[in-house]
Chains A and B, each alone.
Chain A
Amino acid sequence: MKSASLTTGLLGAFSLLAPLSVWAADIPKAAEKQPMNMTAIVMFFIFVAVTLGITYWAASRTKSAKDFYAAGGGITGMQNGLAIAGDYMSAASFLGISSMVFAKGYDGLIYSIGFLVGWPVILFLMAEQLRNLGRYTFSDIASFRLERMPVRSFAALGTLCTVILYLIAQMVGAGQLIRTLFGLDYSLAVVMVGALMILYVAFGGMLATTWVQIIKAVLLLSGATFIAIAALAAANFDLEKFFTMALEGVKSSALADHKKAVADGRNVLAPGGLVNDPISSISLGLALMFGTAGLPHILMRFFTVSNAKEARKSVFYATGFIGYFYILTFIIGFGAVVLVAPDNQYLDLVKGTLRGGNNMAAIHLAHATGGDLFLGFISAVAFATILAVVSGLTLAGATAVSHDIYANAIMKGKVDERVEMRISKGAALVIGVIAIWLGIAFEKQNVAFMVGLAFAIAASANFPILILSIYWKGLTTRGAVIGGLMGLFSTIIMVVLSKTVWVDVFGHAAPLFPYKDPAIFSMTMAFVGTWFFSITDGSERAKREKRAFEAQSIRCETGIGAVGASKH
């Protein structure tokens, strides 16, 4: 009995990646293409015009590699905090978590908390260390004392795997979401997103990418604040009344999830609900928490501020904005129960879901509280959100190609900056075209597993090497490369053999690997592998690398020798 309740509870608590996966899977399919939404399209074009203006301005200020990769190091802690929050507040978390609260109630909050708690730990153990040791990418830190060629190549591989998988999931999600919101054709939507992100990245570099992200974060936070206040206003700002209305909303709801909650006699304001096994649940929690600390496009942001002090402030602000955002999504989810669920115009009574799928909870609530105009605004913000996130990803991928592979692994650091930047821009173009192509190719595929896989790779390949190079003196090149590759490949193999790919994508009858999320195993393999192949490494190079740890840790602690802001 005890173990059953443990299982139930842990799952409810730990199935953190679900909102990420849920959204890609749940986003409305082709049949539900909406009529053209003119307000949304006009607002979106205003956003595009403003961001292209910013790109033009940023292009004139992007002269050196440091400008291109790190916005010249001149972003303030507050701005960077908003940009980091923007990277994290993707359309997936906005629509996914609010719909999770809408459909399951309290459990949605448990998910948000799981998303948030990684941030303080990143601040305490990584933020200033990253800033003090690195220049443009996280592999700067790994190759600080390890041998450039192998470590850079490995880190670039980890970055590109994470970025491409994440990009495909975002592109497919973008095409489907935009079709639903704007009534645009899927392929057209994907091409538009791809073309815009190439423009932002290739011409405006990190400066444009950061400002696009900041503007979107401000728009999203304001929009979500408005929806939440309007929802609370329906209960005269009386929380007791608000939640009473939500409970009544569930009782009288025509939706399948709500009917099930009523039939099970479950209180949606209390934890409980989903069932799975604890290993998968813990594994998901690990992937989420440490995956965040290994996402290349987020790590890159720590190099855009001028020093460790600003890096710390960035995480402080980011945690505040993200936490505030998750509290809003909680209110929005229940607000949708109160205002959207009882209104037939928002329901698909045949399927027993919201019209366009349950992920539309926040969107429908925007319409219920602010009419067509506000619906247009929120739709445009959702589009802007996707655009900002894919731009950050593309920049991270392009930087891995030009800075890690070309400038360091191939040219050993002896490189003309102008050539390096040209390669970076070319790489942004190539990655953008690949993303468009795969986005269209995967239109009908179930790509839900890709975000989970990206997080798992970030947690099992990028994160172990990064954290060990900061803190473990004994790390050697051999250990880092072998251990990192073990983490990378074991993650991919386990995911391919798991139910999500082996059964759901390839159509086999039963999975060969029983757990949906491999992080608990793949992270262990990466750490143990790195440790084992480091301690057994008796080479001269290994001795040199261990000796160099002291100088590294002095720079890491004090920031002496760290790269400052460039002067304009």
Chain B
Amino acid sequence: MDQQVMDSGQIERIRNNPKYQELVSKRSRFAWILSIIMLVMYYAFILVIAFSPASLGAPIAKGSVITIGIPVGALIIVGAFILTGIYVRRANGEFDELTRQIKEEAK
């Protein structure tokens, strides 16, 4: 083991703090939901390309050369960025505040 971090009393206090439980369950749920949204977006895109490439090849409007695939692709890129923004916003606000309180109470 590389490092000794906290004494066992402190570990005990943090573990029994309901705010700690709240932080862990809220954050991990949030992180997994966002990860799944990202993966579903990506693999849905891939599956459409696999099974129905023509639907992404359809023009966005009658007479246009631009295909639906182009804005969809751009939206996935922008969507990835927005998802990271959503996570950072909540984590740097709500979760960090909870963490601060837990640290305070563990002293």
Pair A323/B77 contact, Cβ less than 8 Å: yes
Nearest CB on A from B4, distance (A): 9
Number of chain A residues close to chain B: CB under 8 A = 68
Residues of A close to B54: CB separation below 8 A = 270
Pair A270/B67 contact, Cβ less than 8 Å: yes
Task: Return the CB mask of A284-310 against B: 1 if under 8 Å, else 0.
Answer: 010000000000000000000000110
Cα distance A548–B51 when bound, in Å?
Answer: 48
Given the contacts A120-B34, A561-B6, A14 and B46 also touching, CB distance less than 8 Å: yes
Cα distance A530–B34 when bound, in Å?
Answer: 27
Q: A-side binding surface: helix, strand, loop or mixed?
A: helix
Number of chain B residues close to chain A: CB under 8 A = 55
Q: Which partner residue on chain A sits nearest B50 by CB separation?
A: A9
Q: Which partner residue on chain A sits nearest B98 by CB separation?
A: A558
Pair B53/A117 contact, Cβ less than 8 Å: no
Pair B80/A120 contact, Cβ less than 8 Å: yes
Pair B46/A13 contact, Cβ less than 8 Å: yes
For residue A565, CB closer than 8 A to chain B, the reply is no
Within 8 A of A (CB), among B42-60: 42, 45-46, 49-51, 53-54, 56-57
Pair A269/B73 contact, Cβ less than 8 Å: no
Cα distance A544–B42 when bound, in Å?
Answer: 40
Cα distance A116–B102 when bound, in Å?
Answer: 35
Pair B64/A240 contact, Cβ less than 8 Å: yes
Cα distance A279–B76 when bound, in Å?
Answer: 24
Task: Return the CB mask of A16-60 against B: 1 if under 8 Å, else 0.
Answer: 000000000000000000000000000000000000000000000
Cα distance A283–B87 when bound, in Å?
Answer: 28
Pair A120/B84 contact, Cβ less than 8 Å: yes
Pair B20/A125 contact, Cβ less than 8 Å: no
Cα distance A13–B23 when bound, in Å?
Answer: 38
Residues of A close to B46: CB separation below 8 A = 9-10, 13-14, 285
Pair B84/A315 contact, Cβ less than 8 Å: yes
Binds B, one of A142-150, A192-200, A205-213, A389-397: A142-150
Cα distance A140–B1 when bound, in Å?
Answer: 10
For residue A247, CB closer than 8 A to chain B, the reply is yes
Residues of B close to A270: CB separation below 8 A = 53-54, 56-57, 67, 69
- Contacts A145-B1, A560-B103 supplied; 19 other A-B pairs, CB < 8 Å: A13-B49, A14-B46, A113-B45, A116-B77, A116-B80, A123-B84, A144-B1, A148-B1, A239-B66, A269-B67, A271-B53, A271-B69, A309-B91, A312-B91, A315-B88, A316-B85, A551-B6, A557-B24, A560-B14
Chain B residues at the A interface, C-beta cutoff of 8 Å: 1-3, 5-6, 10-11, 14-15, 20, 23-24, 27, 31-32, 34-35, 38-39, 41-42, 45-46, 49-51, 53-54, 56-57, 64-67, 69-70, 73-74, 76-78, 80-81, 83-85, 87-88, 91-92, 96, 99, 102-103, 106
Chain A residues at the B interface, C-beta cutoff of 8 Å: 2, 5-6, 8-10, 12-14, 106, 109-110, 112-114, 116-117, 119-121, 123-125, 128, 140, 143-148, 239-240, 243-244, 247, 267, 269-272, 285, 308-309, 312-313, 315-316, 319-320, 323, 326-327, 330, 408, 413, 544, 548, 550-551, 553-555, 557-561
